[in-house]
């Protein structure tokens, strides 16, 4: 069985962030590295969201982002992004969106999670990183990271192994689901296949059901 490890583990409570010549906003995107933390059904202890309407919830309890994308963005934008720049809880190597499927179940330390959807980014990413256009390119490429729901609570450490426990039978990758979502590809067969995945986040299920009804 394949094991993967965490590159960075981070959490944060909402706080005031300054950006763009003195403007301010309340956000929890500025994650802080942590060695060990308890993951509950609603998310990590010491972690929260500021915008409850568009972020958070049981189906988005954990945010992952692949380590490999950092070098890609640093090269494209001639920048040097800091760790957890995308506000992710877990930065992980070897689990790109093309490798991870909606409905995959992973054990991380004591906890067990299932992948529910691709991460839907917002322009807070540009504000946090001071890299104009990054948010747009994240959506265009599908390099968004992804969310997970907690199936079993438990402690996760910075060096905990990540193990694939099971893969959904439909095997729809996060990258493919992202393309369907962000690029609005109207492929009825693919959408119907994605809707068969039990773990699919409810908001995405509603979105794709609406599209399917129009096709």
Buried b (16+ CB within 10 A) or exposed e, 139-153: bebbbbbbbbbbeee
The residues, ordered by sequence, that sit 6+ positions from 78 with a Cβ below 8 Å of its Cβ are none
Report the candidate in 136, 152, 156 with the shortest Cα–Cα distance to residue 144. Answer: 136
- What is each CA distance from 23 to 12, 17, 18, 100, 133, in whole angstroms? 20, 8, 6, 37, 18
Bridge partner residues of 19 (DSSP): 23
Which pLDDT score is estimated for 50? 77
Residue with tokens 């990758």: 173
CA distance 3 to 170: 22
Give the residue from 56, 173, 62, 57 showing the smallest Cα distance to 109: 62
Residue 62's CB is within 10 A of a number of other CB atoms, namely 24
pLDDT digits (tens, 9 = 90+) for 160-197: 999 999 999 999 999 999 999 998 888 999 999 999 99
Domain 3-214 has CATH 2.40.33.20: yes
For 118-171, what is each residue's pLDDT tens digit? 999 999 999 999 999 999 999 999 999 999 999 999 999 999 999 999 999 999
pLDDT in tens, 38-89: 999 999 999 998 776 667 789 999 999 999 999 999 999 999 999 999 999 9
For 20, counting Cβ atoms within 10 Å of its Cβ (0-12 exposed, 13-18 middle, 19+ buried), the class is exposed
For residue 71, which of 79, 60, 59 has the smallest C-alpha distance? 79
Closest by CA to 150, choosing from 27, 9, 45, is 45
Domain ranges of the chain: 3-214
Q: How much is the pLDDT for 1?
A: 47
pTM strictly above 0.75? yes
């Amino acid at each position: 069985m394949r094991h993967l490890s965490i590159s960075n583990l981070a959490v944060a409570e909402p706080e005031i962030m300054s950006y763009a010549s003195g403007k301010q906003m309340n956000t929890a995107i500025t994650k802080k590295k942590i060695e060990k933390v308890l993951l509950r059904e609603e998310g990590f202890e010491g972690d929260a969201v500021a915008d409850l309407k568009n972020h958070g919830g049981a189906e988005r309890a954990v945010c992952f982002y692949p380590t490999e994308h950092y070098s890609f963005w640093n090269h494209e934008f001639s920048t040097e992004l800091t760790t957890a720049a995308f506000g992710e809880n877990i930065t992980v190597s070897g689990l790109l969106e093309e490798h991870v499927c909606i409905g995959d179940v992973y054990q991380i330390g004591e906890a067990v999670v299932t992948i529910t959807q691709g991460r839907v980014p917002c322009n807070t990413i540009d504000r946090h990183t001071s890299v104009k256009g990054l948010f747009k390119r994240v959506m265009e490429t599908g390099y968004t990271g992804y969310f997970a729901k907690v199936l079993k609570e438990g402690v996760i450490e910075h060096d905990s192994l990540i193990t694939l426990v099971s893969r959904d039978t439909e095997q729809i990758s996060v990258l493919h689901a992202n393309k369907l979502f962000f690029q609005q590809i109207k492929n009825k067969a693919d959408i119907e296949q994605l809707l068969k995945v039990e773990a699919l986040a409810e908001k995405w299920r509603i979105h794709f059901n609406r599209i399917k009804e129009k096709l």
